Amino acid sequence: MRTAFIGGGVMAEAMLSRALSERVVASDAVCVAEPITDRRNYLKKTYSVPVSANNTDALHDADLVVIAVKPQHFAAVAKDMAGVLNKKQTVLSIIAGLTVSTITKTLDHDSVVRVMPNTPAQIGSGISVWTATNSVSDDAREAARTWLSVLGKEWYVADEHYIDMATALSGSGPAYVFAFIESLIEAGVYLGMPREMAHTLALQTVLGSAELATKTGENPTLLRERVTSPGGTTAEALRALEQRGFRAIILDAVVAAYRKARELGGQS
């Protein structure tokens, strides 16, 4: 399936890099439209793919059109694409907050897939939540699923409302995890631990905990309880977290991100 990328940013590059390395697509079956000359030259040199400064040129003969621009840049991109897309082409949008309705109306095009990936996709460990309009063919759905599978896991939803929820939880989620890792490192340094040691311990603790939960499939509550001995150090640490409203802070953060995602999409 010939694929055009409108925008050559980090997530577009992640998709391109992973798809090429997994041989989902050949380099000559991809074209990337990127307005910044240095970025365009970098993508051409690194991945040996055709590039263009013109969005319309990139659309030529593409079966799948991946729009990977910031929400504020969509209107400008849509001007180039509206009326140019044909019925056989499928648009795959990874624009945060932008609804299927907005995309279809602005582009005057019904075949749309909306995706919310996250940054671990760069190493094939991401999670992408996606939906598709009824106009997207079975072949196009499978093509979209194949592209997303090279980024990590993928989760299809029939109800688009889950996309904004996923934006708040898994889309923004890596930032929450990185902030937690930062905090663990600083706590270790505060106690007197060498920074390199604190850094290694924090990373491996988070990685190992996630792998344990994944491989055992057990409820995180049960796993937490097994680490927590009555009257022990972990119980005391958890008491301090709860005293400062740890769970409430996480909830508030995810809800705030969800509201912002809806705001970006012009939803109330």
Q: pLDDT by residue (tens digit) across 231-260?
A: 999 999 999 999 999 999 999 999 999 999
Contact 130, 156 (CB under 8 A): yes
Whole-model pTM?
0.90
Answer yes or no: same fold for 3-164 and 173-264.
Answer: no
Q: Which of 111, 117, 74 has its CA nearest to residue 91?
A: 111
Q: Where are the domains of the chain?
A: 3-164, 173-264
Distance, in Å, from the CA atom of 56 to the CA atom of 6, rounded to the nearest integer, reads 9
Tell me the mean pLDDT in the region 49-72.
Answer: 91
Q: Is the pLDDT of residue 168 over 80?
A: yes
Distance, in Å, from the CA atom of 51 to the CA atom of 73, rounded to the nearest integer, reads 19
Q: Which of 14, 56, 62, 64 has its CA nearest to residue 33?
A: 56
pLDDT band at 8 (very low <50, low <70, confident <90, very high): confident
The CATH H-level superfamily of 3-164 is NAD(P)-binding Rossmann-like Domain (3.40.50.720)
Query: What percentage of the chain reaches a pLDDT higher than 70?
Result: 99
pLDDT tens per residue across span 130-155: 999 999 999 999 999 999 999 999 99
Whole-number pLDDT of residue 268? 59
Query: What percentage of the chain reaches a pLDDT higher than 90?
Result: 85
- Give the DSSP letter of residue 29: G
Whole-number pLDDT of residue 108? 92
pLDDT band at 229 (very low <50, low <70, confident <90, very high): very high
Tell me the mean pLDDT in the region 8-32.
Answer: 92
Distance, in Å, from the CA atom of 157 to the CA atom of 178, rounded to the nearest integer, reads 27
Choose which CATH entry (3.50.50.60, 1.10.3720.10, 2.30.130.10, 1.10.3730.10) describes domain 173-264. Answer: 1.10.3730.10
Higher pLDDT, 1 or 65: 65
Higher pLDDT, 71 or 49: 49
Tell me the mean pLDDT in the region 216-224.
Answer: 97
Tell me the mean pLDDT in the region 51-61.
Answer: 90
Tell me the mean pLDDT in the region 85-110.
Answer: 92
Whole-number pLDDT of residue 80? 86
CA distances from 264 to 3, 8, 96 (A): 27, 21, 7
